[in-house]
Amino acid sequence: MHEKTIAKKVADSLQLIGDKYHTLLEIGPGEGSLTQFLMELNTNLHLIEIDTDLIAKLKDSFPTLADKIFNVDFLKLDLRKEYSDPIGIIGNYPYNISSQILIKVIENRDIIPEMVGMFQKEVAERVTAKPGSKTYGRISVMVNAFFHTEYLFTVSKGVFTPPPKVESAVIRLTRKENFKLDCREKLFTTIVAAAFSQRRKTIRNAIKPFLNNQTLVAEEYLQNRAEKLSVEDFVNITNSISKNS
């Protein structure tokens, strides 16, 4: 990303740093286009870069961060083992693993109050989608179950060298005060996945394996399709199945 004004705008999108957390992880800093502005935030900045060839260049460019530049795979990093205090997450995320990064943030939400970053526009729209929209799907439900989501701004192809084939967008996730669901979370995740795996079907047909004669899931849910249901609706469905199974 060669457009510095966009990089600064991404860095400035962090709202909770210095309040809810003091350590910030930049995922995939590359050559440091975003890093230079994150350093201005006067925080404990760590760089997580999987590309070995970029490590030496990052250390040369940011010598004061030399001992905080880690050549590791973020998806394999045990965050709770490495960080006992809350952390923030930011980055221009690799598009091919962006959904996996989101899932990892959800799994470690107890130590991540905030996440900001650039995604493929299509993914950003899905994450921030509301019930009833065409882009609303499984990832929308899973992220919005635990975080407030905001679509901040669109980023054109021209700010990158070389330009990608798709547009990008920056979003912000802010952890909800109550980030634990009032239901069995594993069952919730399974039901959401089942509901959206056959999104053209009604919930009655999509989650049929979970239903039985004793299950009292409200008809208002069963006759709808998955994209019409909110997080709260899926929580209610989960509790009905859990209590009556």
Q: Look at residues 175, 200, 232 and tell me which one is the last residue of a structural domain.
A: 175
Report whether pLDDT(160) > 90: no
Instruction: Decide if 65 contacts 88 (C-beta within 8 A).
Output: no
pLDDT digits (tens, 9 = 90+) for 139-149: 999 999 999 99
Domain count, the chain: 2
Return d(Cα 117, Cα 197) in angstroms, integer.
Answer: 27
User: Residues 53-76: what's their mean pLDDT?
Assistant: 96
Which residue has better confidence, 243 or 226?
226
Q: Report DSSP letters for 62-78, one per residue.
A: -GGGGGGEE-S-GGG--
Q: Do 116 and 38 fall into the same domain?
A: yes
pLDDT digits (tens, 9 = 90+) for 218-230: 999 999 999 999 9
Return d(Cα 77, Cα 74) in angstroms, integer.
Answer: 5
Task: Give the angle 126-130-133 at the CA atoms, nearest 5°.
Answer: 75
What CATH number is attached to the domain comprising 193? 1.10.8.100
What percentage of residues in the chain have a pLDDT greater than 70? Answer: 98
Please give the model's pTM, rounded to 2 decimal places.
Answer: 0.93
Q: Do 196 and 110 fall into the same domain?
A: no
pLDDT in the model for residue 3: 81
Q: Do 236 and 117 fall into the same domain?
A: no
DSSP class of residue 19? T
Structural domain for 57, as ranges? 4-175
How sure is the predictor about 30, in pLDDT bands with cuts at 50, 70 and 90? very high
Is residue 68 included in any domain, yes or no? Answer: yes
Q: Do 58 and 123 fall into the same domain?
A: yes
Q: Look at residues 156, 175, 194 and tell me which one is the last residue of a structural domain.
A: 175
Q: Do 14 and 71 fall into the same domain?
A: yes
Instruction: Decide if 24 contacts 111 (C-beta within 8 A).
Output: no
Return d(Cα 97, Cα 95) in angstroms, integer.
Answer: 6
Q: Report DSSP letters for 40-106, one per residue.
A: GG-SEEEEE---HHHHHHHHHH-GGGGGGEE-S-GGG--HHHH-SS-EEEEEE--GGGHHHHHHHHH
Report whether pLDDT(161) > 90: no
Is residue 57 included in any domain, yes or no? Answer: yes
Q: Look at residues 126, 151, 175 and tell me which one is the last residue of a structural domain.
A: 175
pLDDT in the model for residue 214: 66
Return d(Cα 105, Cα 65) in angstroms, integer.
Answer: 24
Q: Do 13 and 119 fall into the same domain?
A: yes
Q: Name the phi and psi angles at 234, rounded to 5.
A: -70, -35
How sure is the predictor about 204, in pLDDT bands with cuts at 50, 70 and 90? very high
User: Residues 36-46: what's their mean pLDDT?
Assistant: 93
Is residue 89 included in any domain, yes or no? Answer: yes
